[in-house]
């Protein structure tokens, strides 16, 4: 009887891929990219007035490299909205951002997203854009998602077409163990 626990421990030590504990669904950004509030500029007046919401909260950042929001972009924004609703009591700890690479004169967002009182629309600074582009293994695609911690570190990335339930699972784990935000 006393050999069984040692045998199991030896088996898992020899085959670590069999353990799935602590595994995340997104790709961890190592080392994390640091950012500051000044790296973000409000796209509209609402976002400019509420830019302070980025510090001290977990932030889901939808990357929008183009000047128009196509079907993939709309789907990604909808998914982050659903993720925040799925968090239940932790909804106040998470913010959502649609991050544009440049501010255009014509509206990027349709009327539904313009009226969304929980979606912050931000323009990334050129320095932060360069950092983000350097860490992405693939070319920047519409609908990609980044996760920023309460200290301003971009720490996880998800490819375009990500599964909202897997992102929610990762965020729930982080919120459960996080002492900040």
**What are 99-115's pLDDT values in tens digits?**
988 877 666 777 777 77
Q: Is the dihedral of CA 129, 132, 137, 140 positive or negative?
A: negative
pLDDT of residue 20: 64
pLDDT of residue 22: 63
Residue 53, by phi and psi: left (phi above 0), alpha (psi -120 to 50) or beta?
A: alpha
pLDDT of residue 118: 87
> Is the peptide bond preceding residue 31 cis, with omega within 30 degrees of 0?
yes
Task: Return all residues near 170 (Cβ < 8 A) that are at least 6 apart.
Answer: 24, 25, 26, 147, 156
Q: How far apart are CA 34 and CA 43, in angstroms?
A: 21
Of all residues in the chain, the percent with pLDDT exceeding 90 is 48
pLDDT of residue 106: 60
**What are 24-48's pLDDT values in tens digits?**
788 888 889 999 999 999 988 888 9
DSSP-derived 3-state class of residue 140: coil
Q: How far apart are CA 99 and CA 162, in angstroms?
A: 17
Query: Residues 42-66: what's their mean pLDDT?
Result: 90
pLDDT of residue 140: 78
Q: How far apart are CA 17 and CA 73, in angstroms?
A: 34
Q: Which residue has the higher pLDDT, 22 or 118?
A: 118
């Amino acid at each position: 009887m006393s050999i069984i626990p040692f045998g199991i421990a030896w088996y898992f030590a020899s085959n670590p891929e069999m353990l799935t504990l602590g595994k995340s669904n997104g790709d961890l950004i190592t080392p994390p990219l640091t950012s500051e509030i000044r790296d973000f500029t409000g796209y509209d007046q609402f976002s400019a007035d509420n830019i302070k919401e980025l510090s001290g909260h977990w932030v889901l950042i939808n990357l929008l490299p183009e000047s128009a929001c196509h079907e993939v972009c709309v789907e990604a924004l909808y998914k982050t909205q659903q993720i925040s609703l799925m968090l239940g009591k932790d909804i106040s700890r998470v913010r959502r951002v649609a991050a544009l690479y440049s501010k255009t004169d014509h509206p990027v967002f349709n009327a539904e997203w313009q009226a969304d009182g929980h979606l912050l629309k931000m323009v990334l600074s050129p320095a932060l854009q360069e950092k983000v582009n350097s860490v992405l293994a693939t070319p920047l695609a519409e609908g990609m998602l980044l996760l920023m911690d309460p200290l301003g570190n971009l720490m996880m990335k998800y490819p375009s077409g990500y599964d909202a339930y897997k992102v929610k699972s990762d965020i729930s784990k982080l919120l459960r163990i996080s002492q900040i935000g």
